[in-house]
Amino acid sequence: MNDVPGALRGYLWAIYAIAVALVVCQAPLLPAALAPTGVLAATALFALLVAIGERITLQITHSVNQNMAGALHIATILLFPPPLPLFITLAATLGSDLPRSRRPLYKRVFNVCLSTLSVGVTSVVVAHGAGPVALRPGQVAAALPALALLLGLYYALNSGLLLGVLCLLERRAPWRVWPQTHRPTVLPELAICALGILAAVVWHVDPLLLGLFALPISALHAAIRTAARARAAEERAEHALVLASVDGLTDLLNHRAFHDRLDEEVARAARSARPLALLMVDLDDFRAINNGHGHQAGDAALVAIAAAIRASIRSADIAGRYGGDEFAVILPETDLGEACAVAERTRVAVAAVALERDGAPVGATTSLGIAALPRHACTRDGLIEAADGAAYAAKHAGKNRVRIAADAPPVSRARRA
């Protein structure tokens, strides 16, 4: 536990101490609770069922799992008086959690204490606050307030104690941690708790009928596992699509993906009659960096320049690596005045990039061209040609400057060479 933050270490020791104190206080009541005929056998059976429930896991999302032990915890609280729920849970979790050698010992001990405290405290509070909960036919409606108290307290303890660990570990407030960690499990946990109530009702009718729960639980487990695998496959496919769209060096859109996005934005601008601008960013004398400092220095400069471009544009703008030393930025719903402001900000940001290679400064300036839809073109290719020609005009005028397509006619790449 030496690698655990101090505040979290203190929290864990407090949980351990409270759990031990609760067990010690409840232990003297155990012989009297086990005295009635048949209680010992039922207790052993539920300890086994809880241990099995700990092993049956429902994968809610790729990172969130929910086991079936909660249903058995609720049924145990409803069917047995204190302190039996506490000791049933303690025996089951000791048998299922502690032998798992892959987890650090302090985590396994915490899991035992978490279940023991959640069940033990809830059973004591419900027994003293609401008395025995009657679940025989015709009595369930009158038991609803006690059931609400049971579910609310159990969830608060079971989720709250674990939430405390996550808050201390991430050093964030509970209301910021809970939506990411516990909100996806609220509905599954309530469903599992409802199964526990149903199991307690069925027990009163005929304990052998509990065997009928095996089939729906198995089907639910299989269905959720299949859904989780399908979600994981979709996420992998989306991730692969993202990787195929990103330039491996700069993490900007690659040439093909940039063209696809520009097609979408041109079509959207045409439908909505909203402005659209395109910014072409052509690095000045970039070959000198590769020739003078090597290609590794050139790659490092491209990465830094791409980061500067990304930082200088707006969140709605779309940047891509258009060629070896060329970048482009789509400016949705942007008129020429706004586009000029973005371009000037980008020019200044790139010029401020300063790397050092073998004691010598490495940097670059840019010539930027702007074209707007529909003023300079009405198609994707026309927009690119107009912005590209403006970038060439900026380079021809002395480099490290911004030009608008209207300042000069488009110049094709063939004529540049």
**Residue found under tokens 């069925």:** 202
- How long is the chain? 417
Pairing of strands 57-59, 366-373: unpaired
Same domain as 193, residue 268? no
Same domain as 293, residue 222? no
Domain around 322: 255-416
Same domain as 120, residue 53? yes
**From first to last of its 417 residues, what are the pLDDT tens digits of the chain?**
667 788 888 999 999 999 999 999 999 999 998 888 888 998 998 888 888 888 777 665 555 566 778 888 999 999 999 999 999 999 988 887 666 667 788 888 898 999 999 999 999 998 887 777 767 767 777 778 888 888 889 989 988 998 898 899 888 888 888 887 777 778 878 888 888 888 888 888 888 887 877 777 777 667 667 766 777 777 777 777 666 788 888 889 998 889 999 999 999 998 888 899 999 999 988 888 877 778 888 888 889 999 999 999 988 899 999 888 899 999 999 988 899 999 999 999 998 887 776 666 667 889 999 999 888 888 889 999 999 999 999 999 999 999 999 744 444 444 443
248 lies in some domain? no
Is the bond preceding 332 in cis, omega lying within 30 degrees of 0?
A: no
SS (H, E, C) the chain: CCCCCHHHHHHHHHHHHHHHHHHHHHHHHHHHHHCCCCHHHHHHHHHHHHHHHHHCEEECCCCCEEECHHHHHHHHHHHCCCCHHHHHHHHHHHHHCCCCCCCCHHHHHHHHHHHHHHHHHHHHHHHHHCCCCCCCCCCCHHHHHHHHHHHHHHHHHHHHHHHHHHHHHHCCCHHHHHHHHCHHHHHHHHHHHHHHHHHHHHHHHCHHHHHHHHHHHHHHHHHHHHHHHHHHHHHHHHHHHHHHHECCCCCCECHHHHHHHHHHHHHHHHHHCCCEEEEEEEECCCHHHHHHHCHHHHHHHHHHHHHHHHHHCCCCCEEEECCCCEEEEEEECCCHHHHHHHHHHHHHHHHCCCEEECCEEECCCEEEEEEEECCCCCCHHHHHHHHHHHHHHHHHCCCCEEEEHHHCCCCCHHHHC
Same domain as 321, residue 189? no
Q: What is the CATH number of the domain that holds 356?
A: 3.30.70.270
Q: Give me the number of domains the chain comprises.
A: 2
Same domain as 276, residue 200? no
Same domain as 186, residue 38? yes
Phi, psi of 174 (to 5 degrees): -55, -40
Of 242, 269, 285, the residue at which a domain comes to its end is 242
pLDDT at 414: 43
Same domain as 179, residue 283? no
In sequence order, the β-bridge partners of residue 326 are 282
113 lies in some domain? yes
pLDDT at 86: 94
Of 242, 266, 286, the residue at which a domain comes to its end is 242
pLDDT at 369: 93
363 exposed, middle or buried (CB, 10 Å; 0-12, 13-18, 19+)?
A: middle
Same domain as 315, residue 260? yes
Of 242, 270, 285, the residue at which a domain comes to its end is 242
Same domain as 78, residue 199? yes
Same domain as 145, residue 79? yes
Same domain as 171, residue 43? yes
249 lies in some domain? no
pLDDT at 412: 47
57 lies in some domain? yes
Q: How far apart are CA 203 and CA 213, in angstroms?
A: 12
Q: How far apart are CA 110 and CA 20, in angstroms?
A: 12
189 lies in some domain? yes
Same domain as 280, residue 137? no
Phi, psi of 57 (to 5 degrees): -115, 135
63 lies in some domain? yes
Q: How far apart are CA 397 and CA 5, in angstroms?
A: 60
